[in-house]
Structure 1
Amino acid sequence: MVSANRVDETLWIRRFHPADSATTRLVCLPHAGGSAPYFFPVSKALAPEVDVVAVQYPGRQDRRQEKCIESIPELADAVTAELLPLTDKPLVLFGHSMGASLAFEVGMRLEKAGTVPLALFASGRRAPSRYREENVHLRNDDEIIAELKALSGTRSEVLADEEILRMALPAIRGDYKAAETYRHTDGVRLAAPIHVHYGEDDPRVSLDEARAWADHTTGHFELKTYPGGHFYLNEQAPRVIEAIARVTSTVTS
């Protein structure tokens, strides 16, 4: 719920550094198995110039008892409903990996509702029109853990703690199912500009798959590559944050 100058936290919306006077709002959408606190450093870096909100999906951390949503369109419907009251400021959408696919679907829904995002940042994810046959969500627990270690997407202390990791596996599996079964068939392009960022050694995204995001916008398209793999973002966060800040700075009071 939003008033003229205030955003209240909900089960879905987390706000680590309130910035009521900011002229733009950044919406952060986590990767498969990820959670809102992953974006705490982004919020800290951009506040108070940008009001950063991070989405907390069901099935993890304080929402662990809730059923994970295993469909990108269904998750997009729920997230959009939470964001529509927050459109008093221009929105920038940032999604990493599964979060990028989700950000695209949310962007489509926002535009259909009359709100064009200032920009969409798609990080570490192939374009919605590019498909791969993937089945991580069908593997056993040990194989999923091996996948996480290969991608280095989970903090090492979490991977080292067997109990915590096993508790997180249902959400991780559900997220992988959502990401791997997602198929975009709408054909509608966003009016919002799309900025694609990915690691040059990412086994989940090729250069061709990253470039294909250009087919999903009628606006400006920009592609940036970085050293690193699927979670290049962990090391390259300052550069990515700088790119976001350049976009948000185009809006003044």
Structure 2
Amino acid sequence: MPVTPADTPWLRRFHTADDGALRLFCFPHAGGNASYFFPLSTLLAPRTEMLTVQYPGRQERFNEPRIESMTELADIIAAELTGWTRVPFALFGHSMGATLAFEVACRLRANGAEPSALFVSGRRAPSIPAPGSVHLATDEELVADIRLLGGTESRMLDNAELLAAILPAVRSDYVATETYRYQGADPLRCPVTAFIGDADPRVDTVQAEAWARHTTGRFQLHTFSGGHFFLARHFDALAESIGATVGPGDQELLTRN
């Protein structure tokens, strides 16, 4: 069962970690929730302390107002995380969560909290516009797009009651994603690692490689078999990459800097 860290409803912790462990903030995809990253937390514990962001409008925050602006979300989350960045930390996000993790990283860096690394999955670089109008589509068209991307169980999409419960949050996240416009920011100093699926209809290699423009540190791109939600089959490889990218030496170096 997840544990809600004290002082904020925005974070969920599934496993305890060793003293001095890297702290990894995870950001779910559009329509996603903290529970999606439970398998990754299982693989990373106890050497990494994973704290997953829980957006309002889903699970135990179901009755809270949803936020349909990526900028507003980033501002709020960065403020919430400020007290949690006094130890070495990194950020990981998938799809919408990748863009949000980047925006939060930029805000934390501006406040003097430099991340040890940024991991982005299934998302083109912020500097490449990703306009869309699915958030304006009918419910049927929105569901068709969700089916195209995968990641949501068919039983949920085929159940009218369950669908009515999850669709408002999905649509709000699509609004935030499709209306997002990159405003420019100084490059991060930390390593940036991107992950994509070789059959992802939303992002290709060129779009993913553009993440290199957003850091003065090293950049790596890993391509896996699968579509937009390739990571569900490759959490073990992602966990290995996170551990290899941010080892004790990297943490100590960034802490000194």
TM bracket (short chain): over 0.9
Say which SS state the counterpart of residue 95 (structure 1) adopts: strand
Say which SS state the counterpart of residue 69 (structure 1) adopts: coil
* Number of the residue aligned with 2:205: 207
* Number of the residue aligned with 1:43: 41
Displacement of 1:20: 5.3
Displacement of 1:133: 2.8
Q: Structure 1 counterpart of 2:226, which letter?
A: G
Quick check: 1:239 aligned with 2:234?
A: no
Say which SS state the counterpart of residue 42 (structure 2) adopts: helix
Q: How does 1:12-27 map to 2 (within 5 A)?
A: 12-19=10-17, 21-27=19-25
* Number of the residue aligned with 2:90: 92
* Number of the residue aligned with 2:162: 164
Q: Which deviates further from its counterpart, 48-57 or 14-23?
A: 14-23
Say which SS state the counterpart of residue 228 (structure 1) adopts: coil
* Number of the residue aligned with 1:142: 140
Structure 2 alignment gaps of length 5 or more: 253-257
Q: Which deviates further from its counterpart, 60-69 or 106-115?
A: 60-69
- For residues 211 and 62 of structure 1, the distance between their equivalents in structure 2, rounded to whole angstroms, comes to 36
Asked if structure 2 preserves the Cα contact closer than 8 Å seen for 1:199 and 1:228, the reply is: yes
Asked if structure 1 preserves the Cα contact closer than 8 Å seen for 2:89 and 2:117, the reply is: yes
Q: Percent identity?
A: 49
Displacement of 1:19: 1.7
Decide which of 95, 113, 116 is 2:114's aligned counterpart: 116
Decide which of 209, 220, 223 is 1:222's aligned counterpart: 220
* Number of the residue aligned with 2:192: 194
* Number of the residue aligned with 2:149: 151
Q: Structure 2 counterpart of 1:142, which letter?
A: E
Q: Structure 2 counterpart of 1:186, which letter?
A: G
Decide which of 157, 174, 177 is 2:175's aligned counterpart: 177
Q: Which deviates further from its counterpart, 157-166 or 223-232?
A: 157-166
Q: Which deviates further from its counterpart, 183-192 or 121-130?
A: 183-192
- For residues 118 and 67 of structure 1, the distance between their equivalents in structure 2, rounded to whole angstroms, comes to 32
Asked if structure 2 preserves the Cα contact closer than 8 Å seen for 1:22 and 1:51, the reply is: no
- For residues 14 and 166 of structure 1, the distance between their equivalents in structure 2, rounded to whole angstroms, comes to 25
Asked if structure 2 preserves the Cα contact closer than 8 Å seen for 1:22 and 1:48, the reply is: no
Q: Structure 2 counterpart of 1:82, which letter?
A: E
Q: Structure 2 counterpart of 1:108, which letter?
A: C
* Number of the residue aligned with 2:255: none
Displacement of 1:225: 0.6
Q: Structure 2 counterpart of 1:12, which letter?
A: W
Q: How does 1:78-89 map to 2 (within 5 A)?
A: 78-89=76-87
Q: Which deviates further from its counterpart, 168-177 or 183-192?
A: 183-192
- For residues 239 and 18 of structure 2, the distance between their equivalents in structure 1, rounded to whole angstroms, comes to 20
* Number of the residue aligned with 1:3: none
Say which SS state the counterpart of residue 220 (structure 2) adopts: strand
- For residues 156 and 234 of structure 1, the distance between their equivalents in structure 2, rounded to whole angstroms, comes to 15
Q: Structure 1 counterpart of 2:178, which letter?
A: E
Aligned residues: 248
- For residues 148 and 121 of structure 2, the distance between their equivalents in structure 1, rounded to whole angstroms, comes to 18
Asked if structure 1 preserves the Cα contact closer than 8 Å seen for 2:21 and 2:46, the reply is: no
Displacement of 1:166: 1.4
Say which SS state the counterpart of residue 52 (structure 1) adopts: strand
Quick check: 1:107 aligned with 2:102?
A: no
Residue deviations 1:32-55 (CA, integer Å, cap 9, x gap): 000001011111111111111000
Q: Structure 2 counterpart of 1:132, which letter?
A: A
Normalized against structure 1, the TM-score is what? 0.93
